[in-house]
Amino acid sequence: MSAPVWIIEADVTALIALPDAVAALERTLALEAEGRATSMPKTHLMVAKNDAMHAIGAAVAGAGLCGTKTWINVGGKSETVLVLFSLDDGRLRAVIEATALGQMRTAAMTGVGTRRLAAADADELAVIGSGKQALPQVAACAAVRTLRHVRVHSRRPEAREAFAEAVRKTLGLRVTACASVAEAVRDCPIVTLITNATEPFFTAAMAAKGAHINAMGAIVPARIEITQDIFPRCAVVAVDTIEGVRELSAEFRARYGEDARAWAEVRPISALIAAGASRPAGADLTLFKAIGMGLADLALGAEILARTEKRGGAHRLPERVKVPPRLV
């Protein structure tokens, strides 16, 4: 029996790239549709006006692993770890530094939603937000669609200009920094929202007919990005996890409330994958909302652990020696 491994951030990024992450995530979501993988409910605690502590987890019988990821976001800064355990004997298998993993899993989920629901010929992306998640979001869309142009808007001009330059340098794409949300999304076939907004800013009037929307930023009830008039135009409303979205998305709670029949309109992305579904012909809008699910982290964590064990050379943790507690 080998000692558990500590996988550092540099090894994570050396072992897996975003296109690999999209593929690994789709494989695990297919297991979820078969009943061989499941997420535990996401939990969070607001620790300040707009800061939150989070914990998520999952079990993937198909990979023989379960585990949890936890982090706290304070002022936009966080350090995240994913802890993996064996489903065979309960032993600790790995601790993975998971900031880059988290960015990839969030982006990979966008890649999955975009692959399933954006028009096949969609070649332009508007991204609203320029924080640390934004560049992977662009890369995810570029991994599943051939993008000829990216538009970006965020509140601070210097931030969006810096982000535009990062997209050019990292991904080699043509980018326009836009002064407003409306300018960025005008006639755009793919729109990705990745902000910390606490007031809705993206309206149905802004959305082009035929567009696909990735709503990725509002992951706690205090945050909101889209207005309610988006929903009636959507031919498909899909989410990463219905239970998580019901609990944590103010936008979806306002739309569907507590009515189980109303929620039947919302499709888990795993069901679309299992059905081999794609964008319906003639769809006005499609919407994909991801709140964050432990299964996405486990999908990438399992792939990274498998590649680590194949490659060798990982940092080993001490063998566990159990000692009874001192009672007196």
Domain-by-domain residue ranges, the chain? Answer: 5-102+294-316, 109-289
195-233 tens-digit pLDDT:
999 999 999 999 999 999 999 999 889 999 999 999 999
The 3-state DSSP class for residue 214 equals strand
The whole-number pLDDT of residue 59 equals: 96
- Residue 276 makes CB contacts below 8 A (sequence gap 6+) with none
Percent of the chain with pLDDT over 70: 100
The whole-number pLDDT of residue 1 equals: 60
The arrangement of secondary structure in 5-102+294-316, i.e. its CATH architecture, is 2-Layer Sandwich (3.30)
Class of the 109-289 domain?
alpha beta
The 3-state DSSP class for residue 257 equals coil
The whole-number pLDDT of residue 259 equals: 87
What values do phi and psi take at 41, rounded to 5? -60, 140
91-100 tens-digit pLDDT:
999 999 999 9
Helices (H), ranges, 198-328: 242-248, 250-256, 260-263, 269-274, 294-311
CB atoms within 10 A of CB 38: 18
Q: Which of 70-84, 138-152, 241-255 has the lowest mean pLDDT?
A: 70-84
Average pLDDT, stretch 3-13?
95
The whole-number pLDDT of residue 219 equals: 87
Burial class for 278, CB neighbours closer than 10 Å (0-12, 13-18, 19+): middle
The mean of the pLDDT values for the chain is: 94
Q: Is the pLDDT of residue 76 over 80?
A: no
> Tokens 């509140």 identify what position?
155
Average pLDDT, stretch 52-61?
91
Structure tokens at 125: 């992306």
CA nearest neighbour of 155 among 199, 102, 105: 199
CA torsion, ordered 96, 101, 103, 104, to nearest 10 deg: -170
Dist. CA 180–CA 128, nearest whole Å: 9
Average pLDDT, stretch 136-150?
96
Percent of the chain with pLDDT over 90: 82
Q: Which amino acid is at 30?
A: A
The whole-number pLDDT of residue 160 equals: 95
CA nearest neighbour of 144 among 115, 106, 113, 110: 115
256-302 tens-digit pLDDT:
998 889 999 999 999 999 999 999 999 999 999 999 889 999 999 99
Q: Which residue has the higher pLDDT, 168 or 62?
A: 168
